[in-house]
């Protein structure tokens, strides 16, 4: 699997669709897989929602609740859910044409269980761009119209429609802003409040060109008037600095919440990860917010509160003075392969937290005070030789400026997601030990006192 798609909340259920090839564990003809959840943490796999057709593979896109039935798809009082996706024609691509990606619709009248493709597809035809995909659609209430944010080469193009069927170009953004190391993909546009004032956030995933190599997710904060997006700053900012968060977008129809989900992988090595019989996964769902630091406004990401439903009561160590490497394992007990670790300090200092096993495989996570960045080092974390770009020490700037620090780390058997300083700095990282990591040690450069360190096992029953 790869990109999360069509994320929509309806009648108490979170729908997640995703790029999926049922015929193997490497990229192939794309379908939309489907899973549902009542709470964002317990998921049930559903039948494949969309299959390739005469227009091509089913590439990425979004889904909306057409409450006013602007499409006319609704019948007998049934509200349509509408999926907007890219039809990718492999035959046209092989012929060398520039018009093999177009936008299409499908709709559901049974709350997302089954889907019918619109007979008039495609609804937005390619004007002549080899990269013309990943439509993210929202209802723009002020203009009483739908707005589509579309990835077009190394920028985004905005379109609008009264009915999801007839589209008109509004504007473009990104020719001179942000990172341009590769093609832009999977964009998203949404409002967030900062001190009661609305701001607009434009997400633009990029491959390659991320800060730690390969694919990553950049964003801009600015204004949107229904026609054009204007950024407040030209500074390049990243949703997640780790190497393993890509194609992230947000759920539709979640009222005042903005919930983000990314693909927990990287195109540098996604087809080669040493897992079987599955390959690739998604990040934990994240609640987004905005925070001002100095003259800049940053996006914050934190695990959704629902994650605490599967976090068991933990063990808390208080006022831990680290003067020499300290083995925490005897105090925390046996480490499971899924756990949450939180660290709070009144005065942040350089430190390293090392998770390891009896084979000497180790994952190091910490803060480099001299460089003022957080880091995750997976160089010796287990199986790393499947791709030359996988092993390494990856860094992320500390954006917070105060002395106090808080970190939340979510560990799974083969991944860690780091949320530092209330989500100002985020890193997602894969690792593949050959046996369970059972030892946790903490060291510091020049002495470090941890006010609170809490270890909590995570128990989730996969449905």
Among candidate residues 3, 134, 240, 268, the one labeled active-site is: 3
What span, in angstroms and rounded, lies between the C-alpha atoms of 448 and 177?
40
**Catalytic: 3?**
yes
φ, ψ for residue 200, nearest 5 deg? -110, 140
Task: Name the token pair of 225.
Answer: 């008037």
Tokens of 164: 């999801």
Helix (H) or strand (E) holding 10, with range, is strand 4-10
The three-state secondary structure class of 142 is helix
Phi/psi at 94 (5° precision): -65, -30
Cβ neighbours of residue 184 closer than 8 Å, sequence gap 6 or more = 131, 151, 152, 153, 154, 155, 156, 174, 204, 205, 206
Judge whether 252 and 62 are in contact, CB under 8 Å.
yes
Q: Is the CB of residue 216 less than 8 Å from the CB of residue 209?
A: yes
Distance, CA of 446 to CA of 349 (rounded, Å) = 8
Q: Supply 319's token pair.
A: 């006022």
Question: To which residue do tokens 């108490």 refer?
Answer: 12
Q: Per 3-state DSSP, what percentage of the chain is helix, strand, and coil (rounded to 5)?
A: 5, 50, 45
Sign of the dihedral through C-alpha 422, 426, 432, 433? negative
Query: Where in the sequence numbering do the catalytic residues fall?
Result: 3
């Amino acid at each position: 699997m790869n990109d999360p798609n069509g994320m929509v909340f309806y009648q108490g259920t979170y729908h997640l669709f995703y790029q999926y090839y049922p015929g193997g564990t490497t990229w192939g003809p794309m379908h939309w897989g489907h899973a549902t959840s009542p709470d964002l943490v317990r998921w049930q796999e559903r039948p494949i929602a969309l299959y390739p057709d005469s227009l091509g593979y089913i590439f990425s896109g979004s889904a909306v609740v057409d409450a006013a039935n602007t499409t006319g798809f609704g019948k007998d009082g049934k509200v349509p859910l509408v999926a907007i996706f890219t039809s990718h024609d492999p035959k046209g691509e092989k012929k060398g044409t520039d018009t093999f990606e177009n936008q299409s619709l499908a709709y559901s009248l049974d709350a997302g269980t089954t889907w019918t493709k619109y007979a008039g597809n495609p609804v937005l035809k390619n004007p002549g761009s080899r990269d013309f995909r990943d439509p993210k659609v929202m209802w723009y209430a002020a203009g009483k119209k739908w707005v589509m944010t579309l990835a077009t080469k190394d920028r985004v193009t905005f379109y609008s429609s009264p009915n999801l069927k007839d589209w008109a170009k509004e504007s473009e953004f990104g020719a001179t802003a942000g990172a341009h190391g590769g093609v832009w993909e999977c964009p998203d546009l949404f409002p967030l409040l900062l001190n009661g004032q609305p701001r607009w956030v434009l997400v633009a995933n990029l491959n390659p060109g991320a800060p730690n190599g390969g694919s990553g997710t950049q964003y801009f904060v600015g204004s949107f008037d229904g026609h054009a997006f204007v950024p407040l700053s030209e500074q390049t900012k990243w949703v997640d600095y780790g190497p393993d968060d890509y194609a992230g977008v947000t759920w539709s129809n979640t009222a005042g919440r903005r919930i983000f989900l990314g693909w927990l992988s990287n195109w540098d090595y996604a087809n080669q990860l040493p897992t079987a019989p599955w390959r690739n996964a998604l990040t934990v769902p994240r609640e987004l917010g905005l925070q001002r630091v100095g003259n800049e406004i940053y996006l914050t990401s934190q695990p959704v509160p629902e994650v605490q439903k599967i976090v068991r009561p933990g063990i808390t160590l208080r006022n831990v003075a680290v003067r020499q490497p300290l083995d925490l394992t005897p105090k925390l007990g046996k480490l499971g392969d899924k756990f949450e670790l939180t660290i709070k300090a009144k005065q942040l200092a350089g430190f390293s937290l090392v998770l390891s096993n009896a084979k000497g495989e180790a994952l190091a996570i910490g803060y480099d005070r001299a460089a003022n960045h957080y880091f995750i080092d997976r160089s010796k974390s287990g199986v790393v030789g499947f791709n030359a770009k996988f092993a390494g020490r990856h860094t992320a700037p500390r954006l917070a400026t105060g002395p106090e620090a808080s970190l939340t780390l979510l560990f799974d058997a083969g991944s860690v997601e780091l949320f530092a300083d209330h989500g100002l700095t985020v890193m997602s990282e894969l690792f593949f030990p050959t046996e369970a990591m059972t030892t946790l040690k903490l060291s510091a450069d020049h002495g470090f006192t941890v006010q609170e360190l809490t270890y909590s096992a995570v128990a989730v029953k996969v449905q």
